[in-house]
Amino acid sequence: MSEQMTAKVDVDLAQPSILSRRNPLRYLMLLGGLAVLVLLPYWIYPPVAMDILCWGLFAISVDLLLGFTGLLSFGHAAFWGGSAYCTGLIATHWGVPFPVAVVGGAVFAMLIAWPIGYLSVRRTGIYFAMVTLAFAQMLYFIANQARDLTGGENGLQGIPRSFFGIELVEEDSFYFYYVGAAMILVGIFIAWRVVNSPFGRVLTAVRDNPARARALGYDVERFKIKAFVISAGLAGLAGGVFAISHQFASLQELMWTTSGKVVLVTVLGGIGTLWGGLVGAGVVVTLEDFLASSGFEGIGLITGSIFVLIVLLFRHGIWGTGRNVLRRYVLDRRKRARD
Amino acid sequence: MTGTPLLETRALTKEFRGFRAVSDVDLTVAQGTVHALVGPNGAGKTTLFNLLTGFLTPTSGTVTFDGQDITGRAPEQIAPLGIARSFQITSLFEAMTLREHLELALASPTGMGKQWWRSVTRMATFKDRAMDLLEQVGLADRAGAPASSLAYGQKRALELAIAMALDPKLLLLDEPTAGMGIEDVDRTIALVKQLSAGRTVVFVDHNMHVVGSLADQVTVLQSGQILAEGPYEQVRADERVITAYLGATHE
């Protein structure tokens, strides 16, 4: 029997949300989220706030594949880092406003994602993860070799942050944050739209039962490739904003550890929850920042331990567990009201 | 038009590493008939189904459907031509509601599934037809429930409704009554009769009561080959068939 007929992702997903589409609590949460977004750079150092949003969208892009299509990509650094370099090169050489450069980076990520996706979606599970990792490593070595273009180990330094001559944004990371955040918001909106579209419904079907989806006439491979390309575009958008924020693109962005970290952030937030990525990024980035400024050397040890703890205690991640708790509470109350 | 063949296989063969699961099968299914495939376990019935629907590629031989050669085509290419199948092991999308299952099936030929920029609420275009189908299989009151909450017999009924949602010319049912109690079996027989009116159906089943009540034509497979063919009464009386089912020692 062909692999596609039987293979499906072995992920234990959280229960779907108990809240109906028009539940007021949804709007309340959205408003709360937006308020946090606006106030974040008042509470924490603005570049760190920007990092949280970039990593949040990056994790959402991974969740689009892992949680909603059933594909574990272990090579998403290729799109995040590839776009970081491409965005940096466009901004440096053409001097365009940075949102244009970021869009260019995201398009580049989608262009390389198409052949990578085409060649890797035929595999599932661990094989898919390994094929995507192999492609990401290829890109890493290419970037390392093409010193003239990428600066090799020194990275791409001094990426300009031009924004229509508005100096507040160009020079003050507090104001830059709001422009960057607006771009990340567009990315989040696209991800939300995709998940809650007819296309997203088919992706769920592909995730849960590929053979059945094919018998209904859906071309499973093509849907996977499209999801992969959309996901890469979002990862690219996040990576581009990240590079502009740091005014620096380095090999670190293309390293396999970056691919690993984003999977960790996604799992921490909750697979298949979409919003969990932002929460996971909030935890990981602030923690890393806190530990780095405290001069502690073994950051990986702490984040690793937290990861192990959360996965063991809350299998569905932070968001997923919260959703399950809310679900139980609401069902309990309904039951009591009936009795 | 009853009589002209809707589905034809010629010398259809599938080998798995030297093992011939299906061997030189010439099967002809006439338009408008209900055709049963029977045979002992391992006779190649499910393999044959997978060959007809593109889930397996034949080693040799051809499959012709509605005058078109469909040999070696992918499942997602064969389904739109008008072949719908159910699976032997109940095969649903556990997280989706019943209505969502049918909407997904109904949306398939329209290409709506490609729209990633629109709200999923557009799938409600198919709500009325979905509810009709659920009504027909007696599951309308469960429309909003997830498939995972259904009892076994209900899941099989949902399978039938999903297959019908594709409005197929040919309906392939892989053991529609497998694992059912006698009441569910009778209900399924009635359901298949009602749904398949005016359609061509090929089904696999071990239950001779089901075969006898539904089939116009029976094909008996053994070790991947056709052992006997004909109307139910004739096949049932066939010496070779009795031997195949009961073993050669009964005399």
The pLDDT tens digits of the residues spanning B188-216 come to 898 888 888 889 999 998 888 888 889 88
Instruction: Provide mean pLDDT across the span B91-110.
Output: 91
Quick check: B21 and B224 in contact, CB under 8 A? yes
pLDDT: which is higher, B237 or A136? A136
- pLDDT given at position B1: 45
**Domains of chain A, first to last:** 45-338 (1.10.3470)
Q: Which residues of chain A have pLDDT under 50?
A: 1-8
Beta-sheet strand order (sheet of B5-16): B19-30, B5-16, B60-65, B68-69
- pLDDT given at position A152: 81
Contact residues, chain A, for B121 at CB < 8 Å: 21
Beta strands B60-65 and B68-69: pairing type?
A: antiparallel
Quick check: B120 and A200 in contact, CB under 8 A? yes
One-letter amino acid for residue A270 of the chain? G
Spatial separation of the C-alpha atoms in residues A212 and B82, rounded to whole Å: 15
One-letter amino acid for residue A44 of the chain? I
Spatial separation of the C-alpha atoms in residues A309 and A189, rounded to whole Å: 31
Show Cβ contacts of residue A172 under 8 Å, excluding neighbours closer than 6 positions: none
CA distance between the termini of chain A: 50
Residue A211 and residue B119: Cβ atoms within 8 Å? no
- pLDDT given at position B55: 93
- pLDDT given at position A206: 92
Distance from CA of B213 to the nearest CA of A (A): 27
Contact residues, chain A, for B120 at CB < 8 Å: 196-198, 200-201
CA distance between the termini of chain B: 44
Residues above pLDDT 90, as percent of chain A: 64
Q: What would the two tokens of residue A187 be?
A: 């990315």
Residue A216 and residue B120: Cβ atoms within 8 Å? no
Place of tokens 């040999």: B71
Quick check: B102 and B156 in contact, CB under 8 A? no
Which residues are registered as beta bridge partners of A334? none
Spatial separation of the C-alpha atoms in residues A111 and A152, rounded to whole Å: 22
CB pairs under 8 A between A and B: 99
One-letter amino acid for residue A99 of the chain? P
Interface of A with B in 171-210 (CB under 8 A): 193-194, 196-202, 204-205, 208-209
φ/ψ of B63, rounded to 5, equals: -125, 125
How sure is the predictor about B246, in pLDDT bands with cuts at 50, 70 and 90?
low
ipTM above 0.90, yes or no: no
| pLDDT tens for each residue of B132-178 | 999 988 899 999 998 888 888 888 889 999 999 999 999 999 888 88
Provide the domain count of chain B.
Answer: 1
Please give the residue range of the domain that contains residue B18.
5-250
